[in-house]
Structure 1
Amino acid sequence: MGWIQMQHVIIISCVFVSLFSLGKTESEDVIEALVDFMDKLVPGTMQKPNWGWNISSDPCKNSWYGVTCDTSNTTVKNIALEQLNLSGTVDFESVCEETSLLLLSLKNNNLSGSLPQEVSNCKGIRLLYLNGNRFSGNLPDSFSQLTSLVRIDVSNNELNGSLLDMSRNTGLLSFLAQNNNFAGELPKFNYGLLEDFDVSNNDLTGQIPDDTGRFGARSFAGNPRLCGKVLPNACPLEKKKKNKLHDYIIISGFSVLGLIVFVLVGLLILKKKGNLEDTNIGKRRVESGKDSGVSSESKGGQTRSEFSITSAENGGVSASLVVLSSPVEAVNGLRFEDLLRAPAELIGRGKHGSIYKVLPDGGIPLVVKRIKDWEISRVEFKKRMQRVDEVKHPKVLPVVAYYCSKQEKLLVYEFQQNGSLSKLLHESQNGQIFDWGSRLTIACNTAEALAFMHKELKEDGIAHGNLISSNILLTKDMDSCVSEYGLMVVDNGSKNSNAFNVDVYGFGVVLLELVTGKAVQSNGYDLTKWVNSVVKEEWTGEVFDKVLVVEGASEERMVRLLQIALKCINDVPSMDQVVTMVVSLKEEEERSMASSDP
């Protein structure tokens, strides 16, 4: 080769190297660190071709599998490698020192080993999902140094030791650590700021430090040595408190005794007058109860709830109420007589029955659903309720008690103070903004709950049967839960897929309500027909709720949720298929939020 030819080769090589270097958006150190990170994850049996993740390519421009970059497509921000049967270890040192990750999701793989202290290198990480693996050992202390964390999920692993004090992290919204082997006392969290919290099914001890009452028994269940107001185990009084209480009683004893004597004397004076007035009031209540629709009166003058009249007249009252397993302490020992005596307020009527808010002596408000003319035997009804009670999902409101007679059936639930999804969507919100993220969360929660219940109750043929937005309730934490599961038997659906298809269709209609903000039947039009017609005319943008448009919600993701809704209505896939689509959309939304943050 001549000198001139050699010069040409050298020049071309230099140009090629220069162009290649300019084509890369991330530095060589970052790419090398990411490749080392992937090498240690060791892909298992679920191999995927063309993953990228090699030193000669670029993670942003060459679309490495599971990698998302920032809006300028120059910096790696999210890594999501989920359900890939990865079986190695996580090299936090490599992935965190060189990158500026906002999201790392490795959930539902087969990863093992302990979590190293080097996790503290992920200074800017906001979303960390390590759930559904085989991680063991303690949570490293450095976790508490991740003050940018918004959501962390280490549930369903084999972790042990103590939980960490995360009170320094004032931005933490979600902490999930259920189904591990954590022990010791619960540390402090900013419970008032958290949206999701779950440490159930561990070996924690002592008193729940949550004095806000925002999280119920489900968040702490499965820890036999944990105590608190929301759990069956009451915490013992401290010795100092006992002494103070004892001293107080001694000091104020004479005052209390004098007050009691004074009250007794007053009662004796008023007794005769009271007996006379009670008789007259009882007569007036009997007459007014005939037209009330909410409550009626017995001949003795005691208030009876309307739903109790038929039941009481058929006898067998005392042994008729069946109390199921319930996290509501006040329900334990509840008798039918308690429901009869309790004040009842009619809060809703539907084609399948009426709903009452009842306040027994225990002070915990309950809801009684009264169903009339349901053609199902007592034996079948009992079997159905017990089977539904066996299948628990945190987003399905459990029946806490039931009653069955020939004429009617009663279901008892814990009262949810924030009403229903229907009310939130279609009635006055008092200035409360129902944003896109919240709607997507409710869609995801409902889909996961239905898919779980369908799977567990498939052989029994028990579907929801009446899934509508008024049967999706909001807890005190504004978390959603599906109510009245299994109360309706769908025609021709006892042992085949028809009953479950009805649920999928109903879920599709709920999604339409979430996207459009419109009621199912309003102003003479049918929501499903209207949406189908608008989409057919290619005016899809016209269907979206104006609140979401003003908010700036992603039109692309709103369109995708609309497509899922129409697929549920027109094609009726299985709930397993539906939940995959909805969860994928929600996770994409979370990644987008993380990548848009500074």
Structure 2
Amino acid sequence: MDRIPIWVLFILLIFLHITNSEEEDVTLSLIKFLGQLSNNQIDPSWGWNLTSDPCAGKWKGVTCNARLISVKKIILDGLNLTGTLDASSLCNAKSLGVLSLNDNSINEEIPEEIANCKQLTHIYVSGNQFSGNLPDSLSRLNNLKRLDISNNNFSGELPDLPRISGLISFLAQNNQLNGEIPQFDFSNLVQFNVSFNNFSGPIPDLNGSFTRNSFLGNPELCGKPLPSSCPQSPPPKKRSKGLSSKQIVMYLGYILLGLVFIIFIAFRLIKRNKTKVSKGTVVDGSSNKTSTASTENKSGASRSEFSIASTGSAAASSSLVVLSSPVVNGLRFEDLLKAPAELLGRSRHGSLYKVMIEDGMTLVVKRIKDWAISSEYFKSRMQKINQVKHPNVLPALAFYCSRQEKLVVYEYQPNGSLHMLLHGTQNGQTFEWDSRLSVAVSIAEALSFMHQELHEDGIAHGNLKSSNILMNENMDPCISEYGLMVVDNQNYISLTKGSDLKSKDQNEGGAYSTFKVDIYGYGVILLELLTGKLVQNNGFDLARWVHTAVREEWTVEVFDKALISEGASQERMVNLLQVALKCTNPSPEARPSITEVAVMINTIKEAEEGSIVSEP
């Protein structure tokens, strides 16, 4: 027999290496994961070994995507596994969506590292011997839909699971969990059972969704639907109305000290304002002029460009309104004035700065110019927005308003924006279809919540775009700068070229509804997620280009090539594209509400998850 040339063997080796679906480190990690579950007694017939690939080698219990390039499901039910769950190794399979370990004898705790499996949508660990507290990190699995921890020995209080907005099933019966039951979104849940635990206190408002069977076996629970009613809280004890002579003397002393302190502060402010006037007015750093007050600080960085002119109110130092956030408790206006500021971006609506204050905290300050609204209305608007909280909306920490300009302070988000994730330097990272769809769902649900809560006040976002979607420390999307723009007719025209601008949206109560502009902005973000293209680039208009492509029946050509090569479902990409086209309809009245959009997007996401679960 003739010998095979060495170059042929070399090519074969390269080919075999290329066709491996998962990287070697993922293969090693998964084998380590199963080794911990089976106490290093892996059955050879299962195929889990270093000489094969998890997808191509048809490992027992492993299901990959249609193109056999990434692990989507691991189902190891009823295999008499008696070890521990090694989440650190498991989560190296970044695309893992379903983990099922039902009916084994796995023990110890679920580790905090489970939060690293960011794409998990289904976790089933029923019928094991898990114990200890559930990890707080479970609440960071924002894609989680179903969680079944029933028939184990879990104890302690539940983590903040209600923050997972898409959770539709939570089964925790037959454990030893205690504390009060959190306020889940029971209108969204289709399965819920916490029976036979040690929960106590009142049952939250269920919206009529579940019966007493979901809560039996918790003797200290009370309230509907259980027959036992909750005891009324005792009335507060009445305080004594009289004051002793000692208390009167003490309070008078405090009042005198307060008066002395106020007089001292007023004297210092008057003196400082006189000094500022003698030195001259600080001007906008974007101007070509310089000011004697714009000096170098101790760190050598130039002072903040958003310095307030000395002609402003003498009480400027007290004009910074700190909202209900412990992050910047005690922050003063002077702290912003003397902090070094790095310009992050500038637009026609204002500028954005990264600011490092003295205690090492990093903030972002949005400076809004030429917004012709009163300080009173701006203050009222910011306070109304602050009353509405959603985990995917970045809250303002503080704000300042004067007749000339307005400042809004946020916590700095180091992971950049959705715009950078889509169009910036990738450094070898991929932005997969599942992640893009999850981002679309999170933004839609957050925007729907904000629109519903602030609809009566007429406060929409006004400037929704991918650069205003920031990625937090867990790489979850957060809508920033909510409500910092009121769209006038001219801006509206620029966003809706070709639409019938004579029509008016009477339902929204305005000539041109900012809420409808938000829908358009969200539709453009969907187009960016689907196409991977910039919204505007050298005369290229993304929305117009996509509408034209669909009319000329070459829809498939618009999708991002990275999604095509990944093997993303073309059917669901087309469905998402249809939603984007509805949102960017030139006629505002034809656009759906964001609540309708959120329902459509969630339907697509559930279909995607259903396909993962049902794949053979």
* TM-score, normalisation: structure 1: 0.54
**Pairwise mapping of residues 36-115 of structure 1 onto structure 2 (< 5 A)?**
none
Q: Offset of 1:593 from its aligned partner?
A: 2.2
- 1:144, 1:164 within 8 Å by CA — same for their partners in 2? no
Determine which of 586, 592, 598 is the counterpart of 1:579: 598
Amino acid at match of 1:594: V
Deviations 1:488-529 (A, max 9, x none): 112379844812111111100110011001111113211111
Name the CA distance, whole Å, in 1 between partners of 2:169 and 2:323. 27
Name the CA distance, whole Å, in 2 between partners of 1:547 and 1:339. 43
Name the CA distance, whole Å, in 1 between partners of 2:541 and 2:169. 41
Amino acid at match of 1:378: S
**Pairwise mapping of residues 470-481 of structure 1 onto structure 2 (< 5 A)?**
470-481=467-478
**Pairwise mapping of residues 408-487 of structure 1 onto structure 2 (< 5 A)?**
408-487=405-484
- 1:295, 1:306 within 8 Å by CA — same for their partners in 2? no
Gap change, CA 1:572 and 1:327, over 3 Å in 2: farther
> 1:269 — aligned with what?
none
Say if 2:293 is the partner of 1:298.
yes
- 2:422, 2:529 within 8 Å by CA — same for their partners in 1? yes
SS at structure 2 position matched to 1:337: helix
**Pairwise mapping of residues 239-250 of structure 1 onto structure 2 (< 5 A)?**
none
Name the CA distance, whole Å, in 1 between partners of 2:444 and 2:289. 35
- 1:296, 1:306 within 8 Å by CA — same for their partners in 2? no
Name the CA distance, whole Å, in 2 between partners of 1:294 and 1:518. 39
Deviations 1:370-394 (A, max 9, x none): 0011011111111100000000000
Q: Offset of 1:591 from its aligned partner?
A: 2.1
Q: Offset of 1:318 from its aligned partner?
A: 1.3
Deviations 1:38-68 (A, max 9, x none): xxxxxxxxxxxxxxxxxxxxxxxxxxxxxxx
Determine which of 385, 388, 391 is the counterpart of 2:388: 391
SS at structure 1 position matched to 2:316: coil
Determine which of 527, 545, 549 is the counterpart of 2:542: 527
Gap change, CA 1:182 and 1:452, over 3 Å in 2: farther
Q: Offset of 1:127 from its aligned partner?
A: 4.9
Say if 2:562 is the partner of 1:547.
yes
Q: CA RMSD in A?
A: 4.4
- 2:285, 2:305 within 8 Å by CA — same for their partners in 1? no
> 1:556 — aligned with what?
571
SS at structure 2 position matched to 1:581: helix
> 2:376 — aligned with what?
379
- 2:322, 2:397 within 8 Å by CA — same for their partners in 1? yes
Gap change, CA 1:127 and 1:143, over 3 Å in 2: farther
Amino acid at match of 1:585: I
Gap change, CA 1:122 and 1:441, over 3 Å in 2: farther
Q: Offset of 1:562 from its aligned partner?
A: 0.6
Name the CA distance, whole Å, in 1 between partners of 2:170 and 2:408. 33
Return 288-297 or 347-356, whichever deviates more.
288-297
Say if 2:530 is the partner of 1:536.
no
Which 5+ residue runs of structure 1 have no aligned equivalent? 1-69, 73-95, 98-118, 131-138, 166-173, 186-201, 204-285
Determine which of 362, 367, 377 is the counterpart of 1:365: 362
Q: Offset of 1:163 from its aligned partner?
A: 4.9
Name the CA distance, whole Å, in 2 between partners of 1:380 and 1:476. 33
- 1:358, 1:366 within 8 Å by CA — same for their partners in 2? yes
SS at structure 1 position matched to 2:557: helix
**Pairwise mapping of residues 246-285 of structure 1 onto structure 2 (< 5 A)?**
none
> 1:319 — aligned with what?
318
Name the CA distance, whole Å, in 1 between partners of 2:291 and 2:127. 62
- 1:161, 1:184 within 8 Å by CA — same for their partners in 2? no
Q: Identity of paired residues, percent?
A: 55
- 2:432, 2:563 within 8 Å by CA — same for their partners in 1? yes
Determine which of 518, 524, 542 is the counterpart of 1:503: 518
Q: Offset of 1:428 from its aligned partner?
A: 1.2
**Pairwise mapping of residues 136-151 of structure 1 onto structure 2 (< 5 A)?**
142=129, 151=144
Determine which of 521, 527, 531 is the counterpart of 1:512: 527
> 1:334 — aligned with what?
331
Deviations 1:157-195 (A, max 9, x none): xxx952589xxxxxxxx99989x996579xxxxxxxxxx
Name the CA distance, whole Å, in 2 between partners of 1:409 and 1:415. 19
SS at structure 1 position matched to 2:303: strand
Gap change, CA 1:540 and 1:122, over 3 Å in 2: farther
Q: Offset of 1:592 from its aligned partner?
A: 1.8
- 1:298, 1:304 within 8 Å by CA — same for their partners in 2? no
Deviations 1:125-156 (A, max 9, x none): x85489xxxxxxxx98756699xx9946569x
- 1:356, 1:368 within 8 Å by CA — same for their partners in 2? yes
Name the CA distance, whole Å, in 1 between partners of 2:349 and 2:339. 23
- 1:346, 1:356 within 8 Å by CA — same for their partners in 2? yes
Name the CA distance, whole Å, in 2 between partners of 1:489 and 1:472. 18
Name the CA distance, whole Å, in 1 between partners of 2:415 and 2:542. 25
SS at structure 1 position matched to 2:591: coil
SS at structure 2 position matched to 1:318: helix
Deviations 1:74-119 (A, max 9, x none): xxxxxxxxxxxxxxxxxxxxxx99xxxxxxxxxxxxxxxxxxxxx9
Q: Offset of 1:289 from its aligned partner?
A: 9.9
- 2:282, 2:293 within 8 Å by CA — same for their partners in 1? no
SS at structure 2 position matched to 1:357: strand
Amino acid at match of 1:310: A
- 1:294, 1:345 within 8 Å by CA — same for their partners in 2? no
Name the CA distance, whole Å, in 2 between partners of 1:460 and 1:402. 19
Gap change, CA 1:311 and 1:480, over 3 Å in 2: farther
Which 5+ residue runs of structure 2 have no aligned equivalent? 1-63, 67-76, 79-100, 107-119, 135-140, 149-153, 160-166, 181-198, 201-280, 490-504
**Pairwise mapping of residues 124-203 of structure 1 onto structure 2 (< 5 A)?**
127-128=121-122, 142=129, 151=144, 162-163=156-157, 183=178
Deviations 1:314-362 (A, max 9, x none): 542211100001252xx11000000011110000011210000000012
SS at structure 2 position matched to 1:305: coil
Amino acid at match of 2:483: G
